[in-house]
């Protein structure tokens, strides 16, 4: 992983999140291994850019064999800090706060929502995103 002096450019982090979404789709389809060429062709990406981005963070694949989809998903999620829970405090649970909470319930990220204050009665209950 790049050191503190070698910060990863935001555009690279954005591409890592794209790769992760693509890999998760492949994993859902039951794909176990994928090459950078196949990943690039399926999702209209650049195979050379994928390899360049991933080598900044270590060795991931095997030349001629490709990447283990589950392992790469797990490592990218860890790099992007998506493998752990992030507490989120919402001040005011009006329409926007409710929409954010409802959206988080349907995503794969590990977020815990904590309402801080609101003027309206609570719109959540047991089993909700909050």
Tens-place pLDDT, residues 26-45: 999 999 999 999 999 988 88
| Spacing of C-alpha 81 from chain mean position | 8
Query: Is 20 a residue whose pLDDT tops 90?
Result: yes
Q: What is the DSSP letter of 57?
A: T
Query: Is 98 a residue whose pLDDT tops 50?
Result: yes
| Confidence (pLDDT) at 89 | 72
Strand partners, 111: 86
Strand partners, 112: 87
Query: Is 17 a residue whose pLDDT tops 70?
Result: yes
Q: How many CB atoms lie within 10 A of CB 13?
A: 13
Query: By the 8 A CB rule, do 80 and 73 touch?
Result: no
1: CB partners within 8 A, 6+ apart: 56, 57, 58, 79
| Confidence (pLDDT) at 57 | 86
> Alpha helix (H) ranges present in the chain?
10-28, 36-43, 47-55, 69-79, 95-105
Query: Is 105 a residue whose pLDDT tops 80?
Result: no
Query: Is 124 a residue whose pLDDT tops 60?
Result: no
Tokens of 48: 């050379």
| Confidence (pLDDT) at 18 | 92
Mean residue pLDDT of the chain comes to 78
| Confidence (pLDDT) at 48 | 93
Tens-place pLDDT, residues 68-92: 999 999 999 998 888 777 777 767 6
Which position has the token pair 């503190």? 4
74: CB partners within 8 A, 6+ apart: 83
- The residue with greater pLDDT, 104 or 19, is 19
């Amino acid at each position: 992983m790049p050191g503190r002096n070698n910060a990863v450019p935001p555009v690279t982090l954005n591409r890592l999140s794209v790769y992760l979404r693509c890999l998760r789709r492949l994993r859902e389809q039951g794909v176990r291994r994928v090459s950078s060429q196949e990943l690039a062709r399926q999702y209209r990406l650049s195979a050379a850019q994928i390899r360049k981005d991933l080598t900044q963070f270590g060795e991931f694949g095997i030349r001629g064999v490709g990447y283990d989809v589950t392992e790469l998903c797990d490592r990218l999620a860890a790099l992007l800090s998506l493998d752990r829970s992030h507490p989120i405090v919402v001040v005011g649970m009006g329409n926007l706060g409710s929409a954010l909470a409802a959206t988080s319930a349907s995503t794969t990220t590990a977020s815990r929502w904590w309402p801080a204050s609101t003027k309206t009665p609570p719109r959540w209950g047991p089993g909700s995103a909050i």
